Amino acid sequence: MKKICLLFLILPSILIFQSCNNISSSTKTTKNDSNQDANIERKVDSVLALMNLNEKIGQMVQYAASWDVTGPASSEGNKFKEEKLKKGEVGSMLNVTSVKAVREAQKLVMENSRLKIPLIFGYDVIHGYETIFPIPLGESASWDLEIIRKSAEVAAIETSAAGVQWTFAPMLDVSRDARWGRIMEGAGEDPYLSSKIGVARINGFQGDDLSKNNTIAACAKHFAGYGFGEAGRDYNTVNIGEHELHNAVLPPFKAAAEAGVATFMNSFNEIDGIPATASKKLQRDLLKGEWAWNGFVVSDWASIAEMIAHGYAKDKKHAAELALNAGSDMDMESYAYEAELEKLLEENKVKLSDIDDAVRRILRVKFQLGLFDDPYRYCDEEREKNEIYTKEHLEIARDVAKKSIVLLKNDTVTTKKSALLPLSKSVKSIAVIGPLADDKDTPLGNWRGKGKYNSAVSLLEGVKSAAGDDTKIYYEKGIELTSKTVAPGENQFLHLMEFNTTDRSGISAAVAAAKKADVVLLAIGENAFQTGEGRSQTKIGFAGLQQELLEAVYAVNKNVVIVLMNGRPMDITWAAENVPTILECWHLGSQSGFAIADVLFGDYNPSGKLPVSFPYNVGQEPLYYNQKSTGRPMSTQVTYSGYNDAPKVALYPFGHGLSYTNFSYGNVSLDKAEMAKDGEIQVSVNVTNNGTRDGEEVVQLYIRDLVGSLTRPIKELKGFEKTMLKAGESKVISFTINTETLQFYTAKNKWEVEPGDFNVWVGGSSTTKNKAEFVVN
């Protein structure tokens, strides 16, 4: 080590990555490997000691690829970026996505800069790179942590094969408002479920060794409160109390920090008047201080500069000062750090120690990724050719997709004297109807990485592949969902949907097809770009003429299965009251049609459960199961905490999901009725499959702290287990309740268990009545 440092001092222009390679050949990210951690810290210190101020500030700068980096920059702005890269005054780039492009961008740094500090390349890989998995909200409906981990692992393999080492995922924002378009990107309304799913995704992306060239760095976003924007509006103001912040918003982020997530991203929103990007309390005091997390924080796109529009910063210089002092390490596309930090340092408005801390954190992640060992370790053309969109990856995508489907309703119909699903493969005729029935693009959803336009398997294709040879299939689109078509090459992100409200010319043909068929599969819901960033809505029902089509088809054939494709909870109250069967299919990704057909025809017994509540109407939003009692929870009078024109509960609650078999629960059993604050109680329940089909059930554990120093939710998810039960089989499912289960952020502003009375429920949804009681002393 002394020899290496001496070489650095004598020959500062030597290639740093070559010298560091002599220290060790690989860098593992296993959390408890103290020797590896110490080795990385020595390397980081060695590099930091050689850097001048411009090079340090440069590491804190991230550019988007606004030109084809495989060729020379054309515009003045891009020429400026190119020169900064050559000087080694850029730390990261995003949206550079191919081995060739990554190699060329890296070469600008490695062949021209003084210290040869490699770039880290990032990209929004939200639910797959080219093989597209269900949107995160849909995938969360699987409640299957292993397949969620596996889908992130596949995404990491494909992303790294394309040269990229960093994804801006998972989104850990707890989301209670269906109006918020970005609800599709998270795990729903519950902090416990969001924590478990977030950790599964982080483990899938990062694996057990971040230096392997088939893993990528994950990013926990958005820190914090983004999903609580007023009125469900994206980027909007957040007003929540300190205790709600800690109890409802922060748990998934703390779990991510403890799981060793490489990076965090701060948030666009403000909380209680302070933009998250300028929140020292969140970033420097809590995340880096109390939680002792050692990765780096990247701003969201231009969130540093946007503090000017917030009315919190006077100009970019002031914004850069606020962001750095708060603990924001890397500036994504604000150009504030590169322009202002040197002047701020001269004026003593920022500290060199904070700049060094930011750079140290960024270098640490680059060492963990093995970029100093080999800046081109991810630039493998053979991997890019052979490990993206493979048959194996598509098979995994199909498995994840079918497990993400939720059977919301499956009532007996008079004509059949049984439920419509599962369909028999010998059914004589099926009408496949709807604007989404033969849509090969909508199933890809928003934030589809490098998913190719029109590459998904449509519902119609899936049904044709699964139905018997003698089954007659009628297809009619019925209506166009939108009135304006966006060309495949255009940036869909920049276009708002314009819905068809006048052209009914196809409805008569759809009605005719429905009349002829034994059963109708009606594919309706949302276009892929109705949800996602910037896609907040005040109406969450069926847009355009879909409701009219639904009612016209149902009028002539009551055997209707709604195949719902969507990215948010929707107002489907009319359908729930009238249509016998509703299958929640989300936007399921590349293998959507095959996965839906697997469920429709009973090749897979649906096992999904809702990670978010479905309302009776939009006026109930925000809506969530773990609300507070209030002083007037229920009454036969009008003076209680409810509505005069709608129920206060959900149409389909959190945790709800049916099966083609029936599960029954025995009484909740506790091994004792009392426990100490630092003790534990074993909770057990006997679960039986009473039906004739094998099936998986998500057994859910909820608790309530009846009296606290703060008012507590009426019910909180604190455990779950997904288990397979054969027809007629029974199993005893057990959970342990301990300090971790019962603690909350109390009125004393600390996490602790308070003594008192508790309820515990175990069942198949958040509405279970299967209860026991215990006392904590």
Residues with a known catalytic role: 300
Specify the 3-state DSSP secondary structure of 176. Answer: coil
Name the DSSP letter for residue 618.
G
Name which of 566, 760, 762 is nearest 655 in CA terms.
762
Task: Choose among 520, 529, 432, 548: nearest CA to 482.
Answer: 529
Determine contact, residues 174/197, Cβ cutoff 8 Å.
no
CB-based contacts of 76, cutoff 8 Å, min separation 6: none
User: Is the separation of the CB atoms in 705 and 712 below 8 Å?
Assistant: yes
Cα-flanking dihedrals φ and ψ of residue 418, to 5°? -160, 175
Q: Which two tokens stand for residue 406?
A: 């939720």
d(CA 588, CA 400): 9
Rounded CA separation 444/449 (Å): 9
396: nearest Cα among 202, 596, 134: 134
237 CB neighbour count, 10 Å cutoff = 17
Written as six digits, the tokens of 619 are 């006026």
Q: How far apart are CA 450 and CA 35, in angstroms?
A: 38
Q: Quick one: which of 192, 196, 198 has its CA closest to 221?
A: 198
- Residues sharing a CB contact under 8 Å with residue 744, sequence separation 6 or more, in sequence order: 247, 705, 708, 710, 712, 751, 752, 754
Q: Is 189 helix (H, G, I), strand (E, B) or coil?
A: coil
DSSP H/E element including 18 = helix 16-23
CB atoms within 10 A of CB 188: 24
CA angle 502, 506, 509 (to 5 degrees): 150
| Whole-angstrom distance, CA of residue 483 vs CA of residue 544 | 9
One-letter amino acid of 580:
P
Strand partners, 703: 716, 760
